[in-house]
Amino acid sequence: MGSAESAVRVAMRLMQKFAPAVTSPPQPQSDWALFLDFDGTLLDIAPRPDEIEIPKSLPGMLLGASAWLEGALAIVSGRALSQIDRFLDPLRLPGGGEHGATVRLPDGTLETAGPETIVPIAWRNEILRVTNAWGGVLVEEKPYGITVHYREAPYRADDILALLVDIAGGDPRFEILASRMAYEVRSRAITKARVVNELMGYAPFSGRVPVFVGDDVTDHDGFRAVVARGGLALDVGEIFGGEPAAVREWLRSFAANQD
């Protein structure tokens, strides 16, 4: 199999549905360790990553759920942790940014992936150079990876994939990840499973039943990690009707259990 074909197959494999273990929102349990995706799970997807709307009640809702779980609640996002912190200020929750490139432990310590996992600057420059002429295409640069969004230019999907395969397809250290109206280049060593496995080794997560809630193919590594530990994978589309508002309402019930 050629390198370009391999990269395409990686993207398509990750687009496959993950079979849920349950079909409706389960009753919250106090012995859970809860891992939550951000965009598309807690928040509605916006046309551009910087246009998301944060419900004023969200930080308090997360704080209440975290308190009921004795701190065993984490945010696991493709965004950088600095962005998550800004959106949820003043909360500083455990979790992972950029799919696990950075992991924040319960005591606030940050663990970061090695420099070999960073998408090369030459690739970034070439992606920016080519896509600069493509109206409606947005390039989101991150400390470790790079994502090309085509929500405003869906006809560019094949062009973007071909470009990324041409640039990164020959390097086995990296993969092209297909997500909602976007393609991302990232290190194969970085996945949301890393966040789950790392945090489950520390109190208050250790010894609990891991539950991962996510909406996109980028969450499937996290799904597999919790299932391997006897936990639950909750796909927002399958379990919550594709509605982040339904996820937030479910989270509100966690805090209600404190009474």
Domain 3-11+116-187 and domain 20-114+190-256, same fold? Reply is: no
For 212, counting Cβ atoms within 10 Å of its Cβ (0-12 exposed, 13-18 middle, 19+ buried), the class is buried
> Residues 69, 254: contact at Cβ < 8 Å?
yes
pLDDT above 50 (res 160): yes
- In total, the chain counts a number of residues equal to 259
| pLDDT confidence tier of residue 21, bands split at 50, 70 and 90 | low
Query: Residue 242: what pLDDT?
Result: 93
| The pair of three-digit structure tokens given for residue 110, joined into one six-digit string | 């940050």
Q: What's the fold here for domain 3-11+116-187?
A: Alpha-Beta Plaits (3.30.70)
The torsion region of residue 181 among left (phi > 0), alpha (psi -120 to 50) and beta comes to left
| pLDDT confidence tier of residue 14, bands split at 50, 70 and 90 | very low
Query: Residue 259: what pLDDT?
Result: 52
Query: Residue 12: what pLDDT?
Result: 42
Most confident of 16-30, 177-191, 198-212: 198-212
Other beta carbons within 10 angstroms of residue 251's beta carbon come to 24
Query: Residue 19: what pLDDT?
Result: 52
For domain 20-114+190-256, the CATH superfamily is HAD superfamily/HAD-like (3.40.50.1000)
| pLDDT confidence tier of residue 179, bands split at 50, 70 and 90 | confident
The domain spans of the chain are 3-11+116-187, 20-114+190-256
Among 37, 216, 221, 235, which one carries the catalytic annotation? Answer: 37
Query: Residue 20: what pLDDT?
Result: 55
For 247, counting Cβ atoms within 10 Å of its Cβ (0-12 exposed, 13-18 middle, 19+ buried), the class is buried
| pLDDT confidence tier of residue 217, bands split at 50, 70 and 90 | confident
pLDDT digits 0-9 by tens, 101-152: 999 999 999 999 999 999 999 999 999 999 999 999 999 999 999 999 999 9
Query: Residue 2: what pLDDT?
Result: 46
**Residue 37 annotated to the active site:** yes
pLDDT digits 0-9 by tens, 30-89: 999 999 999 999 998 877 777 788 999 999 999 999 999 999 999 999 999 999 999 999
Query: Residue 49: what pLDDT?
Result: 75
pLDDT digits 0-9 by tens, 218-227: 899 999 999 9
Residue among 244, 210, 212 at smallest CA distance from 229: 210
Q: Phi/psi at 168 (nearest 5 deg)?
A: -110, -10
pLDDT above 50 (res 9): no
Instruction: Kindly report the three-state secondary structure assignment for every residue of the chain.
Output: CCHHHHHHHHHHHCCCCCCCCCCCCCCCCCCEEEEECCECCCECCCCCHHHCCCCCCHHHHHHHHHHHCCCCEEEECCCCHHHHHHHHCCCCCCEEEHHHCEEECCCCCEEECCHHHCCCHHHHHHHHHHHCCCCCCEEEECCCCEEEECCCCHHHHHHHHHHHHHHHCCCCCEEEEEECCEEEEEECCCCHHHHHHHHCCCCCCCCCEEEEEECCHHHHHHHHHHHHCCCEEEEHHHHCCCCHHHHHHHHHHHHHCCC
Return all residues near 62 (Cβ < 8 A) that are at least 6 apart.
Answer: 36, 73, 75, 88, 91, 93, 251
Q: State the average pLDDT over residues 233-247.
A: 95
Query: Residue 18: what pLDDT?
Result: 52
